[in-house]
Structure 1
């Protein structure tokens, strides 16, 4: 990079670093503590995985048993090492997302790749769902990278396309909506690979830990109280909206059905499927229809934001850039936390659900193309 670029990146890094360590919503790697404590209790102390509660809170391990197997090395690490590994894994996931979604756009415009990607990395760190993923020690960025690796495989016609989605589903149930996408767009081989991978990983966990698997699939999975209060402002899903507004469950089901219908119509549009936009919209839908979508789960919106940015740059006007810029600013603002203690009235109803309204907007705003032109994750860049 040029000296001026290096200076800008250094100054931006210092500013972002100061912001991240002083922002009031720094999460102290809470979820990482849950993961590590649960697998240590399970593997080293002989406790039941789903009976563990972290530091006398109500929060315990909520993922399938295969996730516990994947996270089991944490049982042998010290806390600083666990934190370091978590930061490294999330940083690697962000780097991969930038390589797949941003670098092709940067090259198309003949901009300096290291400079723009360095600023892009810092921008992702400021993005609230991503910074929460880092400070919670969460796994969603890694799962997003797994799913997007399958997108690359699908674009390139790779026979293994579907493995990443299957592994992500075995670790956490929400990515199963991407198998639905593969079925809707008639990508039957990839759907079969994803389903078989998820089933195989789940079966492996059952063979290695039958009692724990039975405890999860027959009990813990159905205990909604384990994940927290549905009305809590961090739950930025349609179910969270219904809970905060005290609406009947029928409202949530009707809203979810509407979202799924809109998603179906968008991804099944005529002509060759645009898998890049299809995956981006599916990530948005996953956040909307899930009963619980904590703010850090909204990293699944990142592909949609990359596509909005790409479309704005293609339009070649500052006015077009206003939309992705506004979405980024709102989703980085922590605005929903103004109502963390709850409130009544129209301002609260609108403000406490801001990220849901943004997600609904992205569902319809992500641009589809009949044939994917060179850009984020285009086939020419899939090698």
Structure 2
């Protein structure tokens, strides 16, 4: 085996300058992200106001899925989520909104930290801190995360649960539990169950489905009428979460609808194309798991959930900038370039969209996000080891048998 030539370390002055700049960039985006969310008067506006209003409506004797009576978007999550989110009604809406916003910003930083610290490059501590600052700033500045913060959505929290679970930050005997909990709050994480089946991770599947069933039974005991209505009616009504034809719905269903496909043909193509993409994502997630990159596997599965669901708004798409960060931190140049393109597109999304609308090319850029998700599902996140140094250790490989 030939020994690789040692890389010359950066001069201390340059290292210190980059550390300061990366830290300032991250701090700026943390502050601006929080201020952006706060400017929307969270608690009184956005999706979090729907959570609060629906739960208060339920407490006053109404039915959870009848809110709001005057039209608009109602409560779309399983009844268990109403139990979990009940503390949101304990304080004034604006106070709750700002507390929720602060928690989501912290969660976003933690999620990026988990991704960066599991990369094999860069190897030095200073390099990792520089990359961490740049990654935190880019993630919080992306349109996907900003959309989540403005609406007060739950997606960042659910992403953290999935990455902790699939990324093996929890003991193996508890694998699947956090995915089951996330699915009980919002159904899209159920896509991971298919991966558990295809890869024969029976124990994780049983733990995940058992957790989901326990949460569902608890909700049925507390909210029997609403549980019955959700599982027999509301769960099938996609109109409750918006029109599938609207721009920035980056699911297969959305792309087909914008292309003019409708009726039964759209449903059939959605099942066929979505099924193929999900199976490809399962294969690529397993490739990532086999080489020891469990976090990349979690992100690929998150992308699979986006393309498979009928409606995936920007705040559902927070997996895209995370996928870009993973690619940008590969050791080979081609994934790095692709990763920087993905991260840059997510960060400059609003400016690019405004430019494309002004120049009459909005139809093209409305589907760029979808194309990126398709590529991630179809080709993965460069999971193949680039060198022997990146190959999994024998101990790690035995854990995956």
- Please give the TM-score of this superposition, normalised by the length of structure 2: 0.80
1:64 equivalenced with 2:78 (yes/no): yes
Q: 1:351 to 1:46 in 2, by over 3 A?
A: same
Q: Partners in 1 of 2:134 and 2:326 — Cα distance? A: 18
Gaps of 5+ in 2: 1-14
Answering whether residue 51 of structure 2 is matched by residue 35 of structure 1, we say yes
- Report what 2:68 is aligned to: 53
CA contact (8 A) 2:323 2:339 kept: no
Distance 2:171 2:101 in 1: 32
- 1:169-214 residue CA offsets vs partner (Å, 9 max, x unmatched): 1000000011111221111101110000001001100011101111
Change (3 A) 1:160 1:18: closer
1:360 maps to 2:374: yes
Match of 2:143 in 1: 128
Matched, 1:251 2:265: no
The aligned counterpart of 1:293 is 312
Distance 1:335 1:179, change over 3 A: farther
Which of 263, 266, 282 is equivalent to 2:284? Answer: 266
Query: Cα deviations across residues 52-110 of structure 1 (Å, max 9, x unaligned)?
Result: 128x5511110000111110011121122211221122123223212321124377233
**Match 1:280 to one of 281, 299, 317:** 299
> 2: CA distance between counterparts of 1:177 and 1:271?
17
- Secondary structure (helix, strand or coil) at the match of 2:260 reads coil
Counterpart of 1:184?
198
What is the correspondence of 1:110-129 to structure 2 with a 5 Å cutoff? 110-111=125-126, 116-129=131-144
Deviation at 1:163, TM superposition (A): 0.8
In the alignment, which residue of structure 1 is the partner of 2:182? Answer: 168
Q: Is the 8 A contact 1:67 1:172 kept in 2?
A: yes
| CA displacement at 1:263 relative to structure 2 | 2.6
Partners of 2:25 and 2:137 within 8 A in 1 = no
Query: What RMSD, in angstroms, separates the aligned Cα atoms of the two structures?
Result: 3.5
3-state DSSP class of the match of 1:85? helix
Instruction: Choose from 329, 335, 339 the match for 2:344.
Output: 329
Structure 1, unaligned runs of 5 or more: none
111 and 85 in structure 1: CA distance in 2 versus 1, 3 angstrom threshold: same
Q: Structure 1 369/72 Cα, relative in aligned 2: closer, same or farther at 3 Å?
A: same
Contact kept, 8 Å, 1:98 with 1:121, in 2: the verdict is: yes
Per-residue displacement from partner, 1:90-131 (whole Å, max 9, x unpaired)? 123223212321124377233265554344322211111111
Q: Is 2:323 the counterpart of 1:304?
A: yes
Q: Distance in 1 between matches of 2:190 and 2:222?
A: 23
Q: Is the 8 A contact 2:135 2:325 kept in 1?
A: no
Of 290-299 and 253-262, deviating more is 253-262
From 108, 114, 127, the equivalent of 2:123 is 108
Rounded Cα–Cα distance in structure 2 between residues aligned with 1:284 and 1:11: 27
Q: SS state of the match for residue 318, structure 2? A: helix
Distance change in 2, residues 1:321/1:79 (3 Å): same
CA distance in 2 between counterparts of 1:174 and 1:90 reads 19
Q: Residue 222 of structure 1 aligns with which residue? A: 236
User: What is the correspondence of 1:84-103 to structure 2 with a 5 Å cutoff?
Assistant: 84-103=98-117
Structure 1, residues 291-326: CA drift from partner, whole Å, max 9, x if none? 111111011334422321221xx12x5x65321111
With the length of structure 1 as denominator, give the TM-score of the two structures: 0.84
Equivalent residue number for residue 212 of structure 1 = 226
Separation in 2, partners of 1:273, 1:185: 15
Q: How many residues align?
A: 367
Report the secondary structure of 1:293's partner residue.
coil
Question: 8 Å contact 2:30–2:105 — kept in the other structure?
Answer: no
